[in-house]
Amino acid sequence: MAHLLSPTGEARAAAARIAELSDRGHHDVALVLGSGWSEVVTGLADPGTAVTIPAADLPGFVVPAAAGHRGTVTSCLVDGVPLLSVAGRTHLYEGRGTGPVVHPAHVAAAVGARALVLTNAAGGLRDDMSVGDLVLIRDHLNLTGRSPLTGPVFVDLVDAYSPRLRAAAADAIGSAETAAAEGTATRPPEGVYAAMPGPQYETPAEIRMLRTLGADLVGMSTVPETIAARGLGLEVVAVSLVTNLAAGVTGQPLDHTEVLAAGAAGSARLTGALRALVPAVARA
């Protein structure tokens, strides 16, 4: 895909600082760890390879407002693959504009990454989904009313989430899950992710609307970063952790603490999945 956007000046400055502190001038893959995923960063790196920097010490990053977002940037190797991981993201509902939301995508391009891996916590909309499921995003609905693009920047989103990288990620996650369970290989399902503006959770009526529109998952992130990344020429693969069943599915109230609890309960499993996914995506 043509590069319609260039990394911002702040992203280039952040990349230069990361290179200086980590002694790595290039990273093959960039990763954003969303709600419920931040603890993965502690076990993701090959031993002795991680250099962690407070995000607030790097140009363009702001301290995440949502609970469960560490606010750190780590340069490391994962099975020998240079990875830049951002633990914690900025959301549209924080009112800071789209710039900080998509800054990690610009930094990913600035450090030379070819692929951006996005993770998030999501509400499951399908009856066959359970808390703890991993789902690869195959497409999205941008219902935030916002775009990170301005002007005549016509980004093609036909394959917003790379089919090739999705296939590699599915094989990798399936193998990791099988090894952990000592069972038969099970590839993760795919689904359509609906991005809502938040920060309030959706009403049961809104969930019925989203199901009618064809959504399988709902959350408050990921889509702006994907749009920016595609404009920057990056390939994108995104993984949702189902941390709750959406409003009206069970009749129970929703709470952010259950999102964090689901991630904490499965942190070892999520780490294993990403340790398999990152090198698979880099080598696909």
Per-residue pLDDT of the chain (284 residues; tens, 9 = 90+): 568 899 999 999 999 999 999 999 999 999 999 877 877 877 899 999 999 999 999 999 988 766 555 789 999 999 999 999 999 889 999 999 999 999 999 999 999 999 999 999 899 999 899 888 999 999 999 999 999 999 999 999 999 999 999 999 999 999 998 877 655 657 899 999 999 999 998 998 999 999 999 999 999 999 999 999 999 999 999 999 998 886 555 556 656 566 556 555 567 788 899 999 999 999 99
Continuous H helices in 80-219? 98-110, 163-181, 204-213
Known catalytic residue at 106:
no
CATH superfamily label, 9-283 = Nucleoside phosphorylase domain (3.40.50.1580)
Known catalytic residue at 177:
no
* pLDDT given for residue 259 in this prediction: 57
Known catalytic residue at 235:
no
* pLDDT given for residue 7 in this prediction: 97
- Helix and strand totals (H; E) in the chain: 8, 9
- Is the pTM of the predicted complex or chain greater than 0.85? yes
* pLDDT given for residue 250 in this prediction: 56
* pLDDT given for residue 85 in this prediction: 96
Known catalytic residue at 122:
no
Tell me the two tokens of residue 146: 């916002």
Counting beta carbons within 10 angstroms of the beta carbon of residue 125, is it exposed (0 to 12), middle (13 to 18) or buried (19 or more)? buried
Rounded distance between C-alpha atoms, residue 118 and residue 34, angstroms: 8
Known catalytic residue at 103:
no
Kindly name the residue from 11, 170, 220, 238 that is annotated as catalytic.
220
